[in-house]
């Protein structure tokens, strides 16, 4: 049971983090906070350390602490060792980042882009394609934000707090500091959030294996429960690899990852982080194994898989530490929600409002609209997460977002390397990819994203293959008609990988 | 030459993670009781970081070289 002191500790930690989000407004305060690049990108001034926390912090979230161990504590071939796809995925993220993000950064800084869709608009000379890419980004963020919100339901439940009310208060406070501070809010809170999470996680991943007499004992006991806990079944190897590769391809196409990257002060900051951020994966790996340890400790799979980590912490540690660890989980979910909502708001402001509704909007008006939209997006995600369907194995919420955002890969990643791509093949490919994603997910009732009818392949990868095939075919047809030319207004010399 | 080398360094993790799934989809040999499936990936976390960092190091070296001239 939790004492009042434990609860006080829980609330104080969360309060401190939220408070820092509000005072971040004053952090490196510019002369004119109303400039959109100031509010939305923190003035593009963040160095290696801040970007490490900002990107690391918004990549490793409730997903890490709840969804991944939850997947590991799920019975069947899609659970147990299968959850390690998150590690395989983590390993494959950063070489892509290193190869692509410096190019996007350079052209964005030079031309003042705030979103990836800004780049698409000039690269293809198509504001419609830009709008479609922007809306895809907003759509993909919703399940990801919902994952953050759903992730802390279990924590609130075990603390006997009123769930819906607590969620609404917590996320409105987050919307509040994002409204006021812009990207400075999640950037500054990410640092303290990570300090809290690292402390909690290190204690957990050191103490629990000791308590369970070491990894040898854990894995031999796990083997007795199910071989799925040690290794994946060959029937699902394509599912495993396609999910890991697809998630890695998708991650830096997410609007929040682009926002974090563009907030960097130079290319060197991005490259250094591409080399350093993988070290977070070590932590992620041990957290994934906590899901296995939970099954071993209770000698049973948890009733709700997402409770694997919170339940184990609750049973093993004194209530004061549990309160601290639970506060870490809550903080790890609310801070990323801030940058995700901010990135979505930027897309709607820049690529919908400014482009189609009021092209003459001042920078101050853009900033204020983005502020309001942050609140709107967070409320939408709250509504989405309160739908009962968004429960169970929540790791799939993130893979749904990934499948959606992945369909923007040709228009963003490929377009960083060639100026020949035309908007029509890319647009039709996008449409086919998104349609495929939706049809297959409907067929799976949104409960998983591995398609059994096709080698258990990840829906996002199936759709991306169709998307790329159409882009390729379209370009071949255009080549046959001698219609291939340099598209858009961005010179190739602007798309360099160097500083 | 360096461009090809850098590409290979960045592409290696994909080769070992995607095409190599047959290599690591196994329990033995274990280290300290940890199945191969797990420790292979732990090793690759560090290898991938080292590979990406070496590309960064090569580029920094090139940049220093070009600054002198």
pLDDT at A388: 56
pLDDT at A101: 93
Residue A413 lies in a domain: no
Contact A40, A182 (CB under 8 A): yes
Question: Closest Cα to residue A202, out of A287, A293, A277?
Answer: A287
Cβ A244–B11 below 8 Å, yes or no? Answer: no
Question: Closest Cα to residue A253, out of A123, A343, A376?
Answer: A343
Contact A66, A329 (CB under 8 A): yes
pLDDT at B69: 46
> Of residues A373 and B26, which shows the higher confidence score?
A373
Q: How far apart are the first and last CA of chain A?
A: 55
Tell me how many residue pairs between chain A and chain B have CB atoms under 8 A apart. Answer: 105
Residue A86 lies in a domain: yes
Domain of A325, in residue numbers? 4-395
Cβ B49–A276 below 8 Å, yes or no? Answer: yes
Residue A465 lies in a domain: no
* Closest chain A C-alpha to B69 CA, distance in angstroms: 17
* Closest chain A C-alpha to B1 CA, distance in angstroms: 16
Neighbour-count burial of A26, counting CB atoms closer than 10 A to its CB (0-12 exposed, 13-18 middle, 19+ buried):
exposed
CATH number at A266 reads 1.20.1730.10
Contacts of B67 (CB under 8 A, 6+ apart): none
Distances (CA, A) of A433 to A138, A180, A250, A427: 17, 37, 13, 10
CA distance B43 to A282: 10
pLDDT at B1: 60
Residue A490 lies in a domain: no
pLDDT at A492: 79
Residue A73 lies in a domain: yes
Task: Please give the model's pTM, rounded to 2 decimal places.
Answer: 0.91
Cβ A274–B11 below 8 Å, yes or no? Answer: no
- Cα A76 from chain centre: 26
Q: Which of B31, B35, B63 to mutate to test the interface with A (most CBs of A within 10 A)?
A: B35
Residue A492 lies in a domain: no
pLDDT at A334: 85
Specify the length of chain B in residues.
Answer: 69
* Closest chain A C-alpha to B67 CA, distance in angstroms: 13
Confirm or reject contact between A98 and chain B (CB < 8 A). Answer: yes
pLDDT at A58: 63
Task: Select from A217, A219, A275 the Cβ nearest to the Cβ of B49.
Answer: A275
If DSSP states are collapsed to H, E and C, what string results for A278-294? HHHHHHHHHHHHHHHHH
Contact A203, A321 (CB under 8 A): yes
- Cα A258 from chain centre: 11
CA distance A4 to A7: 5
pLDDT at A488: 81
Count structural domains, chain B: 1
Residue numbers of chain A with a pLDDT score lower than 50: none
pLDDT at A290: 92
Task: Select from B17, B45, B56 the Cβ nearest to the Cβ of A282.
Answer: B45
Tokens 């991944």 locate to A68
pLDDT at A395: 72
Phi, psi dihedrals of residue A371, rounded to the nearest 5°: -60, -45
CA distance A288 to A294: 10
Q: Are strands A457-458 and A450-451 parallel, antiparallel or unpaired?
A: antiparallel
pLDDT at A385: 77
Count structural domains, chain A: 1
pLDDT at A148: 84
* Closest chain B C-alpha to A207 CA, distance in angstroms: 17
* Sign of the four-CA dihedral A464, A468, A471, A473: negative
Chain B residues with beta carbon closer than 8 angstroms to that of A275: 49, 52-53, 55-56
CA angle A21, A253, A195 (to 5 degrees): 35
pLDDT at A52: 82
For the stretch A84-118, pLDDT in tens is: 999 999 999 999 999 999 999 999 999 989 899 99
């Amino acid at each position: 049971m939790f004492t009042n002191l434990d609860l006080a500790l829980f609330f104080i930690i969360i309060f401190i983090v939220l408070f820092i989000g509000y005072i971040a407004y004053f952090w490196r305060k510019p002369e004119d906070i109303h400039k959109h690049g100031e509010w939305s990108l923190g003035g593009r001034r963040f160095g290696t350390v801040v970007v490490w926390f900002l990107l690391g912090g918004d990549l490793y979230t409730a997903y890490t602490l709840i969804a991944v161990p939850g997947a590991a504590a799920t019975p069947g071939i899609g659970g147990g060792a299968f959850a390690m796809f998150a590690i395989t995925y983590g390993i494959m993220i950063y070489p892509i980042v290193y190869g692509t993000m410096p190019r996007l950064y350079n052209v964005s800084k030079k031309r003042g882009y705030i979103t990836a869709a800004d780049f698409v608009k000039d690269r293809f000379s198509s504001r419609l394609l830009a709008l479609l890419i922007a809306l895809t980004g907003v759509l993909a963020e919703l399940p990801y934000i919902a994952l953050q919100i759903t992730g802390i339901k279990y924590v609130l439940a075990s603390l006997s707090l009123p769930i819906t009310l607590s969620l609404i208060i917590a996320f409105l406070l987050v919307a509040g500091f994002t409204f006021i501070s812009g990207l400075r809010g999640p950037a500054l809170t990410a640092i303290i959030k990570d300090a809290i999470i690292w402390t909690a996680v290190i204690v957990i991943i050191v103490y629990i294996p000791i308590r369970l007499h070491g990894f040898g004992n854990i894995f031999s006991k796990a083997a007795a429960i199910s071989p799925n806990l040690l290794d994946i079944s060959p029937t699902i190897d394509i599912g495993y690899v396609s999910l890991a590769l697809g998630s890695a391809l998708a991650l830096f196409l997410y609007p929040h990852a682009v926002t974090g990257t563009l907030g960097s002060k130079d290319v060197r900051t991005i490259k250094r982080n591409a080399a350093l951020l993988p070290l977070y994966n070590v932590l992620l790996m041990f957290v994934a194994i906590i899901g296995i340890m939970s099954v071993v400790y209770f000698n049973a799979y948890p009733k709700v898989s997402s409770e694997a980590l919170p339940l184990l912490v609750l049973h093993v540690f004194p209530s004061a530490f549990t309160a601290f660890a639970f506060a870490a989980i809550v903080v790890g979910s609310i801070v990323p929600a801030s940058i995700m909502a901010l990135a979505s708001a930027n897309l709607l402001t820049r690529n919908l409002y400014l482009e189609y509704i009021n092209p003459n909007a001042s920078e101050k008006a853009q900033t204020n609209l983005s502020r309001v939209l942050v609140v709107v997006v967070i409320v939408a995600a709250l509504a989405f997460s309160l739908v009962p369907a968004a429960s169970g194995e929540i790791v799939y919420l993130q893979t749904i977002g990934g499948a959606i955002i992945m369909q923007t890969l040709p228009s963003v990643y490929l377009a960083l390397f060639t100026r020949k791509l035309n908007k029509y093949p890319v647009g039709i490919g996008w449409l086919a990819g998104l349609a495929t994603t939706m049809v297959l997910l409907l067929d799976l009732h949104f409960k998983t994203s591995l398609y059994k009818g096709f080698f258990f392949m990840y829906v996002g990868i199936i759709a991306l293959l169709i998307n790329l095939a159409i882009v390729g075919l379209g370009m071949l047809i255009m080549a046959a008609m001698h219609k291939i030319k340099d598209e858009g207004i961005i010179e190739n010399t602007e798309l360099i990988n160097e500083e | 030459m360096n461009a090809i080398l850098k590409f290979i360094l960045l592409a290696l993790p994909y080769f070992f993670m995607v095409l190599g799934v047959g290599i690591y989809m196994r329990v033995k040999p274990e280290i300290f009781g940890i199945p191969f499936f797990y420790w292979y990936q732990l090793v690759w976390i560090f290898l991938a970081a080292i590979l990406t960092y070496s590309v960064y190091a090569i580029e920094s070296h090139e940049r220093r070289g070009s600054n002198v001239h």
